[in-house]
Amino acid sequence: MNFAGVELADLVKEWLLIDQNPKTRQEISDLWAAGRVDELEKRLKSRIEFGTAGLRGRMEAGWSRMNDLIVIQASQGLCAYVLEHVNDAKSRGAVIGYDHRHHSERWARLTAAAFHDKGVKTYLYRGVVHTPMVPFGVKRLDAACGVMITASHNPKHDNGYKVYWENGVQIISPHDKGISMSILANLDPKEWDPVSALVNPLCVDRTQEMVEGYFDYIASLSHYRVLNTSTDIKFVNTSLHGVGHVFVEKSFERFGFNPFTPVQEQQNPDPEFPTVQFPNPEEAGALDLAIRTADAAGAAYVFAQDPDADRFCAAERRADGSWVIFTGDQLGVLFAGKILERYKTSGKPLDKLAMVASTVSSKMIEAMAAVEGFKFTECLTGFKFIGNTALALVEQGYEVPFGYEEAIGFMVGSEIRDKDGVSAAVFFAELVASLHREGKTASSYLQELYARYGYFQTKNSYFICDDPLVINQIFARIRNYDGQGSSERPSYPKSIGRLDVSSVVDLTLGYDSSNPPTYKPSLPLSSGHMIQFRATSQDGFKIVLTIRTSGTEPKVKYYLEGSGNDRDTVQEILKEVVQELGDAWMQTDLNKLGRP
């Protein structure tokens, strides 16, 4: 929704008329008085979009920002939609959680108040929780939906509104579009008092019960609790100024481990994130403090969660004292390898085991499945798709104990169908403890898996372009690379580097070259540009290359993985492919594309 045809003065007047928060009203009033037309147009000329990730944006006044008014309107629209589409929604209620960011608690209460206004019960958590507590609560309480107020690993000036459906998974289409339309039909704000939510009889406190239930679930994931008590491995953990510390601390206790060493400067929730520019474990430098702490403590492993503790990262000290930070794909393979081992020893039939990964993640688990005989399924990027794919597999009779995406998101166990950095951390601690009892490390175990299933290496990055027309031209050229293509049958590049393209899946057009005669892909379509190429060399080396537009940044991202039986050759091929991708496919110089 945009207000392109509406005069700016009228938009300012409408905001000042509706907004009852004195601070954000004053923001707009001051900008208008100062003649800040450009800034006002950014904030008022378009409305923040509700998508499958809910809402996320900068905390400021304006229709395109995150503020009281936007949260109230979103909650009213969500509530109306849930009442229409979920049976017994009033009595089943909504689970609402929040993290430590500025305004998070206030917005959680305003969300609850909007549901109470329609007679809907809420389970509002008392105190900050990590994001997985919301889907956990939705399932345990059989709630109609869930809302988590968080911006995950975004910078400190952002906040967000994440929605879970009655199945405990983040919403997917068509619910995102339906909720968006319902918001526009319920814009008149009804309840502005965040305090009223707590005293409303519809606001039920089940916090302690849910937290204890969560830790009981965590304990059920441990296979070697007695052995864990005697491990001498030292761990360092950082929550990056987020909410994860107390959850990881308690989980270590439930697994039988000695306490880890916290990074004290980053241990407690702090919405200012003073020691990191971006509170994201994947960002360069984010683990520097943790590694220095580990060096001082003599620790072998460093763990990290992002601020809402739904993502997990790990690093291992090498024999020479240097550190290796595992990629999300490497961690995914390590988890999958150990889970497969446990499943084998259980005696359960392997053909009933399934694992899930996003389509831009490593294909190594796919290779493992081909060798071992379990089912591997890939899906679109995002845990909304991973979680729903897992539930669909369960309905087909499979057990799905693991799913992941390369952006350090891991689903361990079957209780929570979302990524969880806490369960991932404690499960990984047990994984490395069991390896160390065998005289191994996580790194050496990874090499064993490479030897068994082939060497896989990823090389992911992006090109920077803030002109949508240029991006569209680039993808149009790739779809008609030799000038012989058509809308019905595109003509993509036939080779890249020393490899011949063997298949193309275009999730924008809905085309899969490997699926004649319909050529329809098995995956759903992508809202942006997204094409995946598979290519093979004459001597058996393979690559999978996915290029896609970012939904939140001016980037064309690429996800590249090479595999084969020789590490050096795989690395050479990846360099060749990156070079040709930039020079020939993307035409970086001609299109003036930036690189990181």
Kindly state the DSSP code that residue 142 receives in the 8-state scheme: T
Is-contact 52 172, C-beta < 8 A?
yes
Is-contact 98 149, C-beta < 8 A?
yes
The three-state secondary structure class of 88 is coil
Is-contact 370 391, C-beta < 8 A?
no
Q: Which residue has the tokens 């920077």?
A: 464
Helix axes 22-33, 37-44, angle to 10 degrees: 140
Catalytic residue check, 152 = yes
Which has the closest alpha carbon to 48: 33, 39, 61?
A: 61
Give the number of other Cβ atoms within 10 Å of residue 142's Cβ.
12
Euclidean distance between CA atoms 3 and 553, whole angstroms? 22
Kindly state the DSSP code that residue 31 receives in the 8-state scheme: H
Is-contact 126 144, C-beta < 8 A?
no
For residue 33, give both structure tokens: 């008085």
Give the number of other Cβ atoms within 10 Å of residue 161's Cβ.
25
Question: What secondary structure, in 3-state letters, does 497-537 show?
Answer: CCEEEEEEEECCCCEECCCCCCCCCCCCCCCCCEEEEEEEC
Give the number of other Cβ atoms within 10 Å of residue 297's Cβ.
13
What number of helices (H) and strands (E) belong to the chain?
Answer: 21, 22
Is-contact 412 431, C-beta < 8 A?
no
Is there a cis peptide before residue 468, judged by omega within 30 degrees of 0? Answer: no
Kindly state the DSSP code that residue 277 receives in the 8-state scheme: S
- For β-strands 353-358 and 399-405, DSSP reports them as parallel
For residue 394, give both structure tokens: 């369960």
Euclidean distance between CA atoms 464 and 592, whole angstroms? 9
| Active-site residue, selected from the candidate residues 152, 361, 434, 526 | 152
Phi, psi of 287 (to 5 degrees): -100, 5
Q: Estimate the share of the chain in helix, then strand, then coil, as percent rounded to the nearest 5.
A: 40, 20, 40
Give the active site residues. Answer: 152
